Chains A and B, each alone.
Chain A
């Protein structure tokens, strides 16, 4: 019997000849990511557990993103504790203002094809896009990894998702993953691995694949993998020959295989207040908006800013609407400046903010008031995430978001 991609990564990591779903194994952790929200708790638990030195400083990334720049006096404490822990443990991979953890981890080469990576954030599934087994954990488990370098995992069942054909011009990876979430529902892949494939996925940029893997946690997935190809090798800076083993066996056993025809997909939105509440954007045309947010670890990459700028070229944001654009990382910000996207967006009336999580986690940078409506490109529209629980949050692609910002209401992108 052959193996799925996640099984092969776990086998390589553990040295086991075979593994099967349901089996509990201990993996050796290649890299971990801790962000600003949880570093105080990780540091506290680490000491409480009786550890004094981390297992390997080179394998630890500390990234400040949710609270950058601070928006409350208590926030500074997180940086102070993080900096002190980094100094004490001689951590070298510390990013204080460079962007969102889930962008930096693959972009900086911290999360690479074939590795096993854990992070203190649910959207750690993102790095599956480069063929990395990555998943979110809590701060207590992170503290235990810092001391031991290992973690138990249950080998997940795999759901294979095949997307074949050519996506229509106004349909993006965001529409694809939202459609999948609507079909699988919020708990459709709980404890399981997703494996994306098919000609449409092969044609996608690494950035688009990152969008798909990022949101896979919204159907409960433990991880969401794409088999690496030449694009991955170039993105991650590894020779193709080194990662050629990272593909599922032809006779791998899947819990189920789901097929999509790319040509039949449409722009869609997640409607308030669940990510799996998916409706065609065409049915929502005319929904009035108070704010539009383009950014996050889901859709704050260069191609997303390009799509937004494309929709807003020569246009202006609707009167009274607030458009907030947040590049996912410093390097994306610089590239977007060079390409002229930032100028286009600013001329159109956008507020362009510093790289970071921004409005997505609802702590700063565009909090909404009672009864308002926002269309956002991030990954969650839960009750109370971006302001009071009366705020309505719609999720969509950067193209839908930017076109809607110009119209003042939900419209289809050109």
Chain B
């Protein structure tokens, strides 16, 4: 995966799936309809401010709570390049990879401010404020899914719909 540069939006610990997208919006017909309500219980203005290529940096246990897959899908649809958190809740982690959303585990949260510009080389390092933070690569089976563009495309390949 090629390296990329983006602007930081800083969130705290335990950003749960009810914060990422409250249940009341899950019945909306599409993820694009839902995405303007992303993070609304915590920061109602945030969804309108996030621009494609931006990066979410958070504390520990990002995505805890329900299994709603709209949570990573919405983040992906907002154009977020990747999420960098100290740790992730398990179902969110799987859902993100399955939707082609890159997740990176790092304690970068303690070293950056909102609005900072950082450069990410997936599987290698993050550059922020002149410092370099090493990151570890994902296991191969997860990289395969990410590189296929998510689990739907990986299954389409399996079923011979695409090559």
Residues of chain A touching chain B, judged by Cβ–Cβ distance below 8 Å, are 24, 37-38, 41, 45, 48-51, 67, 72, 74-75, 78, 119-122, 124, 136-141, 143-144, 147, 152, 186-187, 190-191, 220, 222, 274, 361-363, 380, 382-385, 389
Q: Is the interface of B mostly helix, strand, loop or mixed?
A: loop
Residues of chain B touching chain A, judged by Cβ–Cβ distance below 8 Å, are 14, 16, 18-19, 22-24, 26-29, 40-42, 60-61, 64-69, 87-91, 94-95, 98-99, 139, 141, 150-152, 155-156, 159-161
B155 touches A138 (CB 8 A): no
Shortest Cβ distance from A78 into B: residue = B27
A187 touches B60 (CB 8 A): yes
Q: Which of A24, A138, A139, A190 contacts B87 (CB 8 A)?
A: A190
A50-B161, A138-B67, A361-B23 given. 8 additional CB < 8 A pairs?
Answer: A24-B139, A24-B141, A49-B161, A78-B27, A122-B66, A137-B91, A186-B61, A362-B18
A75 to B24, CA, bound (A): 11
**Complex A-B: 21 CB contacts under 8 Å:** A24-B141, A48-B152, A50-B155, A78-B27, A120-B67, A122-B67, A137-B95, A138-B68, A140-B151, A143-B152, A143-B155, A144-B151, A147-B155, A186-B14, A186-B61, A187-B61, A362-B22, A363-B27, A383-B16, A384-B41, A389-B42
B69 touches A382 (CB 8 A): no
A187 touches B89 (CB 8 A): yes
From known contacts A48-B152, A382-B19, A385-B23, infer whether A187 and B94 are also in contact, taking CB-CB under 8 Å. Answer: no
A-B contact count (CB 8 A): 123
Of B16, B19, B61, B64, most buried by chain A (CB within 10 Å of CB) is B64
Q: Which of B16, B61, B159 contacts A49 (CB 8 A)?
A: B159
Of A24, A121, A138, most buried by chain B (CB within 10 Å of CB) is A138
Q: Which of A51, A72, A75, A382 contacts B18 (CB 8 A)?
A: A382
Q: How far is the CB of B19 from chain A (nearest CB, A)?
A: 6
B27 touches A74 (CB 8 A): yes
Q: How far is the CB of B155 from chain A (nearest CB, A)?
A: 4
